[in-house]
Amino acid sequence: MAITQDAPPAAATFTSTNPVTGEVVGTFAVDGPEAVEAAVARARPAAAWWAGLGFEGREQRLLAFKGHLARQADELCELVRRENGKPLDDAFFEVLVAVDHLDWAARKAAKVLKPRRVPSTLLLANQAASVEYPPVGVVGVIGPWNYPVATPMGSIVYALAAGNAVVFKPSELTPAVGRWLVDAFAELVREQPVLQLVTGFGATGAALCRSGVDKLAFTGSPGTGRKVMAACAERLTPVVLELGGKDVMIVDDDADVGAAADAAVWGGLSNAGQICIAVERVYATAPVYDRFVAEVVARARRVRAGADERAHIGPITLPAQVDTIRRHLDDALARGAHALVGGPESVRPPFVDPVVLVDVPEDALVMQEETFGPLLPVTRVADADEAVERANANPYGLGASVFGRKRARALARSLRAGATSVNSVLSFFGVPSLPFGGVGESGFGRIHGPDGLREFTRPQAITRQRFPLPFALQSFDRPERLIPILKRSMRLRHGRR
């Protein structure tokens, strides 16, 4: 669902607007390559200064940032609501998740990344071996609009905690939220521009890819991810790609059907389905299918889209996404699917009310491509094995969920996904010590957790000779008999089975 243009508009500024009212939220520069390169140049000394603070100095400042976010959450949530359209409670959830990640990354960076001794081998027993995790330097972060706080912060705070400076390009739909975050950090860390903002459309993101940053963390659609990777390839800039998903929920024979239905409705419809790890398809086994569908229908009927205080879900933030949702719905109905909740009339831009679909053929668009809207297709399968087979046949592999008892963990393991929740949905995203990322079309690399910290470092190996060996191993002067001895010893140690 790449929506942005590669060429900037003629004007040097653009506005972000409220997706419901059209009210202008802010005016921002369309930063070209020169502005982006200048930001990266400013980030270089900032990165050195920030790295020089050490783990403790950074922890203090990151925890101060966390405290500020927690105290000013209402203001930030209100801005998220104005610019993205989501209900305040949804905005609060993402701020809460971001605060938890910030807290974890700040406190754990030293433990995860401090230099550590590692064992050597018998042959090189005289070498003390250690590994260190220095920061890569300057990290570029490109973010989407659907979770304008939690998603980019998932990269930003781990990159900062690992000792890097960051240049952040938020989505052109949510630059004011990006500005808010960067300004808040700058208020607390005044000495150097450790976290900077660049704004604009796709071309600004492309300029960041080509700017010579030491790593690029991208979150967005697979189509744009490919362009990002191609642009980064020009300078061999390493990338983390956090892309879309077509996440499954599997409901097994022994599942708590009520809990599964509640989770499917929340996981599929909250934030109007505009979640990379939304439940986008459900496979329920034959013994529970009818009960499960009845529970889902009863719950989904109560979910309403709107802009008022009591609405459960907000608008579709990106106007063009409504066309994708309508296309997926029309295609499913044309192929014989039935809508048990909602139908074509549910699409009333900028809102889409929930639609629960059954009897959807597996090759329908809504079963194959990311919908990013509140459509919930539920499919009957003979058993959980069939569900896993169908789940793994899709090229995406971001998140998943399994409801059941006896086989639930085993099913979770057999799914080709970066993360799976058993008997809940989306939970893995909120656990800071877990890595987050996908496989296949969902991307690669990891944010969050120890892996997410290491992602923004360059592991550096060091050996230190503690004493010379009695024979010179790595020398042209080594004794002639040494290689035959080593051959015999290798056969003895490694060649016996």
- Binding-site ranges for ligand NAD (CB under 6 A): 1-4, 6, 142-147, 151, 169, 171-172, 201-202, 205-206, 209, 219-221, 224, 227-228, 231, 242-245, 276, 318, 370, 372, 398
Q: State the residue number with the nearest CB to ligand NAD.
A: 205
Does a cis peptide bond (omega within 30 degrees of 0) precede residue 354? no
> In the bound complex, what is the minimum distance in angstroms from residue 206's beta carbon to ligand NAD?
4
Query: In 3-state terms, what secondary structure has residue 274?
Result: coil
Q: Which is nearer to ligand NAD, 340 or 419 (CB)?
A: 419
| Kind plus residue range of the DSSP H or E element containing 485 | helix 482-494
Catalytic residue among 37, 83, 242, 280: 242
Do residues 239 and 216 lie in contact, with contact meaning Cβ atoms separated by under 8 Å? yes
In a 13 Å sphere around the CA of 71, the CA atoms on its Cβ side amount to 7
**Overall residue count recorded for the chain in this entry:** 497
Do residues 26 and 16 lie in contact, with contact meaning Cβ atoms separated by under 8 Å? yes
Q: Within a 10 A sphere around the Cβ of 395, how many other Cβ atoms?
A: 13
Q: Which is nearer to ligand NAD, 83 or 172 (CB)?
A: 172
Gap between the Cα atoms of 264 and 57, Å rounded: 43
Is 77 an active-site residue? no
Is 209 an active-site residue? no
Please, which residues bridge with residue 309 across strands? none
Catalytic residue among 276, 280, 295, 441: 276
> In the bound complex, what is the minimum distance in angstroms from residue 374's beta carbon to ligand NAD?
15
Q: Which is nearer to ligand NAD, 61 or 246 (CB)?
A: 246
Beta strands in 3-124 (DSSP E): 13-17, 24-29, 116-118
Token pair listed for 26: 């802010």
Q: Within a 10 A sphere around the Cβ of 491, how many other Cβ atoms?
A: 10
Q: Which is nearer to ligand NAD, 407 or 416 (CB)?
A: 416
> In the bound complex, what is the minimum distance in angstroms from residue 447's beta carbon to ligand NAD?
7
Do residues 264 and 279 lie in contact, with contact meaning Cβ atoms separated by under 8 Å? yes
CB burial of 231-265 (b: ≥16 within 10 Å; e: otherwise) equals bbeeeebebbbbbbbbbbbbbbebbebeebbebbb
Query: In 3-state terms, what secondary structure has residue 478?
Result: coil
Gap between the Cα atoms of 127 and 145, Å rounded: 50
Do residues 284 and 379 lie in contact, with contact meaning Cβ atoms separated by under 8 Å? yes
Give the closest residue to 91 by CA, choosing from 68, 75, 71.
Answer: 75
> In the bound complex, what is the minimum distance in angstroms from residue 129's beta carbon to ligand NAD?
35
Q: Which whole-number Å values give the CA distances from 63 to 60, 107, 185, 188, 458, in the listed order?
A: 5, 8, 11, 10, 24
> In the bound complex, what is the minimum distance in angstroms from residue 203's beta carbon to ligand NAD?
7
> In the bound complex, what is the minimum distance in angstroms from residue 263's beta carbon to ligand NAD?
19
Q: Which is nearer to ligand NAD, 155 or 285 (CB)?
A: 155
> In the bound complex, what is the minimum distance in angstroms from residue 368's beta carbon to ligand NAD?
14
Active-site amino acid positions: 242, 276
